[in-house]
Chain A
Amino acid sequence: MNSSIANVRNIAKRELGSYFTSPVAYVFLVIFLLLTGFFAFTIGNFFERGEASLASFFVWHPWLYLVLVPAIGMRVWSEERRSGTMELLLTLPVNPWEAILAKFLASWAFLALALALTFPIVITVNLLGDPDNGQILAGYVGSLLLAGAYLAITCMTSAMSRNQVVAFILSVVLCLFLILAGFNPVTDLLTRWASPALVDAVAAFSVVTHYDNFQKGVIDARDLLYFASLLGFALFATSVIIRNHRSA
C-alpha cells in the first residue's frame, strides 16, 4: 500500500513537472484566464446583470472545457506510446492502475490550479455586492468535477492512439455528446418525438444536468456519485485499453 502511494506520488510529481518545463503550462494558463474572463464579462454580461453572483462565469465552463481540457489531457498517454517511454514506465515496479491514476491526478491538479487562479473574480463580486459565497464554492466544486470528467475521458482516448490529434478529436466528440444529452435546445427537440421519461433518462447522462445543480448551490450526493462513476468508468476503460494494446 505504501509503495502504491509512493508510486502514484512520484509519477504525478514527474508528470506535473513536465507541464512546467515547457511553455505549454504558461500558455495554457494565460489562455484559460483570458477566455474565462472574456466569456464572463463580455458575453455573460457580468456587470449588466446587476446581481452579485458568478452565474455568468460558471455557465460557460462546460463549453470552455470542451476544448481546453482535451488540449491538456491529449498527451497523457499518446506521448508515452509515441516516444516509447511507456515500455520504460510499465517495466518499472508499478501497477498500471497506479500510473493511470497518477497521470490523471497530475493533470487534474494542473486544471485545479488554473481554476484557482480565477480567484480575482470572487474578490470582485465580493467587493461589488454581497454574493452567496456558499453557492460560489459549490460552483467551483462542480466546475472542478466537470473538468475531471472531461479529463478522464481524454485520458481514455489518449490511451487509444499514439497520435495526439486523434485523441483530442475523439475526446471533444465524446464530451460534446455528454453536454448535448442534457442541453436544453436538444432536449426540447427530443421531447417532440420521445416520451418525457426517455428524455429525462438521456438527460440524466449529461454532465450539464448535474453541473447545473452545483451552480444552484446544491451539492447533492447523486451528483457527486454521477461524477465519481464517470471518472471511475473512464479510468477503468483506460486500463483495459492499455492492457489490450500490450497484448495485441
Chain B
Amino acid sequence: MINIENLCKTFGHNKAVDGLSFTVERGEVLGFLGPNGAGKSTTMRMITGFLPPSAGRVSIGNYDVAKSPLQAKRLMGYLPENAACYSDMSVHGFLSFVAEMRGLSGDAKRRSVQRVAELCFLGSVLQQQIDTLSKGYKHRTCLAQALIHDPEVLVMDEPTDGLDPNQKHELRSLIREMGRTKAVIFSTHILEEVDAACSRAIIIDRGRIVANGTPAELKNMSEFAGAVTLVAQGADAHKLAALAPAGRVEPLGGGGMRVYPRDRGASAVLVKAIMQLVAHEGWKIEALRTEEGHLDEVFRSITLPDTAKSASAVRDTQAVA
C-alpha cells in the first residue's frame, strides 16, 4: 500500500532524509524509530503529501503522491506530530468539519463522528471547545480526525505522545486491531510499543535506514541475544569458558555469570553444555536463563555516534565492575 523509493529531503545544507526506501503492505504495522532529528516527521510529511520530496517518490495504493495527490490523500488518515486542531471549534464541530472534507454527509457523517468519538473515548467532551481540552484529549481528538473516514492507510506521528497509561494501552490494541486490515505506519520513542503493536520496525538515523526487521529480528541484533545467565554456587568462570560452544564469560554481581555463545544462534547447544557441566561439577543452581535481546540496547548501539558509543560502553563496564 505504501511504497517509498529513494526518498530524500534537503533543508538548505541539511539532509534530513537521505535515500529511504521501504514498503508497507496491507495487514502490516510498521514502527518507525529513530533519535530526535532523525527525519521521522519529515518522512511522514512527505508520505502524506504535505512536504514535496527533494528526490524520490511515494505512492499510496496505485497513486503517486506527487502526481495524483487528491486520490492518494483520500486513502490516508494522518495524525501530525503536534496534533494541531482548530482550537476555536468544539470537538464535535471539528470532527464534523473533517468528515465533510472527507466527503461524508448526512447520516454517514453523523455515524462516523459517533464511531470515532467512541473509539477515542471522546464522548464526554464532544461539546467542549478544543482550546479548553487537556493535552491528552486534544491528542485523541486529532487521532479521531485521522480515523474518521476509516482509511486504508494510516500514518501517525507519535500517536501515544501525551496519553495516560490506560489510553496508551487502548491505543496500542487499537493499532494492532487496525493493522489487520490496513497499512499502518507510526513513529514512536517508546520501544515497548514496537513489541506491543508492530509487525515490523525500521530504525532510521540521520535520514538513513540503519535497521529493518521484525521486533524479534531486531532484538537478535543485541549482543545479549542468546547469552545464558547462570547464578550458581561454586560456579567457575574458567570451566565455563572452556566449554566448546561458549565464547566470552562475563562475571555479574552476586555470583552470577553471563556466558555468550561462540556463534549466535547456538544458544540451545550452549544451555545443554552448561547443564551438563553444572551436573558434573555439582554446582548448586539458583537461576539459569537465556537472555532475549533488549531493543533499547540495540537502538542505542546503532544510533549513537561512535565516540558516544565507546563512552557509554566504558560506563557500562564500570557499572558491571
Name A's B-contacting residues (CB within 8 A). 3, 6-7, 10-11, 14, 17-18, 21-22, 83-85, 87-88, 90-95, 246-248
Contacts and interface: CB of A to CB of B under 8 A. Distances in A.
Nearest to A82: B84
B315 interface: no
A14 B74 CA distance: 20
B127 to A, nearest CB: 13
A247 B142 CA distance: 24
B48 A91 contact: yes
B51 A91 contact: no
B50 A246 contact: yes
Interface of B: 11, 45, 48-52, 70, 73-74, 76, 78, 80, 82, 84-89, 93, 97-98, 100-103, 129, 142, 145
B51 A21 contact: no
A87 B76 CA distance: 14
A88 B86 CA distance: 9
Nearest to A246: B51
Contacts of B89: 14, 17-18, 21
Contacts, number: 66
Interface residue SS majority, chain A:
helix
Contacts of A93: 70, 73-74, 101-103
Contact of A84 (B80, B88, B100, B129): B80
Contact of A85 (B84, B101, B102): B84
Contacts of B45: 87
Contacts of A91: 48-50, 73, 76, 78, 80
Contact of B70 (A85, A95, A247): A95
Contacts of A6: 100, 103
A83 B50 contact: no
Given A91-B78, A95-B70, A247-B52, A3 B84 contact: no
B66 to A, nearest CB: 11
Contacts of A85: 84-86
Given A92-B98, A94-B101, A87 B88 contact: no
Contacts of A22: 88
Contacts of B102: 92-93
